[in-house]
Copies of this chain bind each other. A is one copy, B any other.
Amino acid sequence: MSDTHTQLKKFITNQITIEDELLALICNKFRYKATRRNQILLHADEVCPYIYFVNQGCLRVYLLDAAGKEFTRFLITENRFGTAFPSFTLQEPSLAYIESIEPSQLLYISYSDYQSLFDIVPGWERSTRLGLQADYIASIKRIESLITMDAKQRYQLLIKTNPTLVQRLPSKIIADYLGISQETLSRLKSKK
């Protein structure tokens, strides 16, 4: 486990002060998994059993409507946690799919292990709260961009806040993350 869990350890010790034994207690609950490109980790209507920590690669949480159109709820890259959050948290069927859009190296923990850590490890609740705070703030910013900005402004914001993502992912996916069509994004790019 040594090497596979170092990023997770760093993530946690960045948030809280914690003894090595307790940190190990947390890390022991996380198992390692490598995925291929486009591998589906969760289908809609399933209850999401895991929350993932991305060591390497990229996860995409997306919705699929009746017409087969896809909408990207979240993109999760290195050193971030990600899951179908409502489904995992409430243990109810997911509206979203999870896939690894790149070959990825992941850690994952089951719902029951995740829950047990709240009682077993002092500090885990704080670490989780801080993570949630950050994720919630990010989602507020996203809502704001969706209600106040047009397609072009949102694209430029994304380039500014997450330039790597834009370079790294097919623009098809960037487009539906921004809530616009592939064609509109293509036109935005050519017009400056």
- Chain A interface (Cβ < 8 Å from any Cβ of B): 63, 65, 71-73, 85-86, 89-90, 95, 118, 125-126, 128-129, 132-133, 135-137, 139-144, 146-148, 176, 179
Contact = CB atoms under 8 A, between A and B. Distances in A.
Contacts of A71: 144, 147-148
A140 B71 CA distance: 13
A25 B118 CA distance: 23
Nearest to A147: B179
A190 to B, nearest CB: 23
Contact of A143 (B126, B139, B176): B139
Contact of A137 (B72, B85, B128, B141): B85
A73 B135 CA distance: 16
B141 A86 contact: yes
B136 A135 contact: yes
B118 A126 contact: yes
B148 A65 contact: yes
In this complex, which of A135, A141, A144, A176 has the most chain B Cβ atoms within 10 angstroms of its Cβ? A144
Contacts of A146: 143, 146-147, 179
Contacts of A137: 85-86, 89-90
